[in-house]
Amino acid sequence: MPLTNTQALLLSNDAFLQGLTENEPRRIQMSHVLEFFEIDGDKLTIPRVTSANLGTAIFDAGGTAVSDTPAVPTSPNPTFSLKLLISMVKTNQTAQYTMSNVNNQEKVALAAAVRRMTYQFWTAFNTGNEGTNPQEFNGLRQLVVAGQTVTANGGAGGVPTLAEFDQLIGKVKASDGHPTVLYTSRKGLEALKKAHYNLNSVPSEYMDWEVPRPGGGTRTVRTLCWEGVPVIVDDSVPNDEQPGGTSTSVYALALGREGLHGIVPRGTRESMFRVSKSLVDGKAQDQQIVSWAVGLALASEQAIARLEKVASS
């Protein structure tokens, strides 16, 4: 007589997937292209100069007096400070030493801590406000100046026109007027497509984009572009603007040292997360503090522009 299924299960072992799989992951495509640069100290100061204060140059017709016209930096110089993201995990030593045959309990907990800190960084990347919360850095909404903003649908908010996407890109003059990316939510991507559909056309400009492949290596994806600028989709971009409290923004960004970039302390670029470990007093538990010193800096105000109040229908 054969074993019953219940009895057979006593000799079986289900496969167990390693790691902790997110059931509701967030798209963070911007993480593939934002550069981080190391700085000394706890802040980066950027001397800026306006065109009016750059000084003058003349063609000499012979004997013309040349006046002293120095380039006068804008006062005060803008500064961008490092902020500290922190997360703590505790691991039961019994679990760590007796229940880590499939998943290392400590490593899974640390990976989750890094993931939630990463999400917090990208949230602040969009909506961080140093004025209301000095513990975070200023995000895109705070970094965009008034003259660098276009409001969709002729200023009323709604589905933007293709001309407004042109205006958005035209406002970026850093990097010789070539934004690196258009950064938006999924709704912003749909709005660009809708702007085409409203003209009885379909998007026709795409480019191949190399992105990391889970487990190592890269793969090529097709990415929608406008004026040669790829569209980057990020679930961290809020959909909370008017009209309706469900609209979004599309940002044109010139990335790099002369534009928008991340900053980290000297010597940490290759390994940004720091872990300190200690025992929990009186308990068989390990406590680990995961920290990430990081900030966001904008060299030129004209490295960023915003198309606001964007709807997709």
For residue range 107-126, list pLDDT tens digits in order. 888 888 999 999 999 999 99
* 125-150 average pLDDT score: 96
**Among candidates 280, 259, 271, which has minimal Cα distance to 114?**
271
Q: What is the pLDDT of residue 33?
A: 92
d(CA 83, CA 81): 6
Q: What is the pLDDT of residue 89?
A: 85
With a cut of 70, say whether residue 18 has pLDDT above it. yes
* pLDDT 10s digits, 79-106: 999 999 999 888 887 777 787 878 888 8
Is the separation of the CB atoms in 150 and 163 below 8 Å?
no
Query: Domain-by-domain residue ranges, the chain?
Result: 29-48+71-310
Percent of the chain having pLDDT more than 90?
62
d(CA 293, CA 86): 9
* pLDDT 10s digits, 51-61: 766 667 777 76
Architecture of domain 29-48+71-310: Alpha-Beta Complex (3.90)
Q: What is the pLDDT of residue 3?
A: 66
The residues facing 252 across adjacent strands are 182, 305
With a cut of 80, say whether residue 15 has pLDDT above it. no
d(CA 151, CA 310): 8
* pLDDT 10s digits, 208-238: 988 888 778 889 989 999 999 999 999 999 9
Q: What is the pLDDT of residue 152?
A: 97
Higher-pLDDT residue of 138 and 212 is 138
Phi/psi at 301 (5° precision): -60, -25
Confidence of residue 64 (pLDDT cuts 50, 70, 90): low
Q: Which of 21-35, 227-241, 274-288 has the highest mean pLDDT?
A: 227-241
Q: What is the pLDDT of residue 301?
A: 95
With a cut of 90, say whether residue 45 has pLDDT above it. yes
**Among candidates 167, 194, 193, 206, which has minimal Cα distance to 306?**
167
d(CA 190, CA 312): 6
Q: What is the pLDDT of residue 288?
A: 87
Q: What is the pLDDT of residue 99?
A: 78
**Among candidates 1, 232, 20, which has minimal Cα distance to 112?**
20
Lowest-confidence segment of 13-17, 59-63, 230-234, 273-277 by average pLDDT:
59-63
3-state secondary structure the chain: CCCCHHHHHCCCCCCCCCCCCCCCCCCEHHHHCCCEEEECCCEEECCCCCCCCCCCCCCCCCCCCCCCCCCCCCCCCCEEECEEEEEEEEEEHHHHHHCCCCCCHHHHHHHHHHHHHHHHHHHHHHHCCCCCCCCCCCCHHHHCCHHHEEECHHHCCECCCHHHHHHHHHCCCHHHHCCCEEEECHHHHHHHHHHHHCCCCCCCCEEEEEEECCCCCEEEEEEEEECCEEEEEECCCCCCECCCCCEEEEEEECECCCCEEEEEECCCCCCCEEEEEEECCCCCEEEEEEEEEEEEEECCHHHEEEEEEECCC
Q: What is the pLDDT of residue 63?
A: 65
How many of the other CB atoms lie within 10 Å of CB of 277?
12
Q: How far is CA 185 from CA 144, 170, 302, in A?
A: 17, 21, 22
Q: What is the pLDDT of residue 104?
A: 83
Question: Does pTM surpass 0.85?
Answer: yes
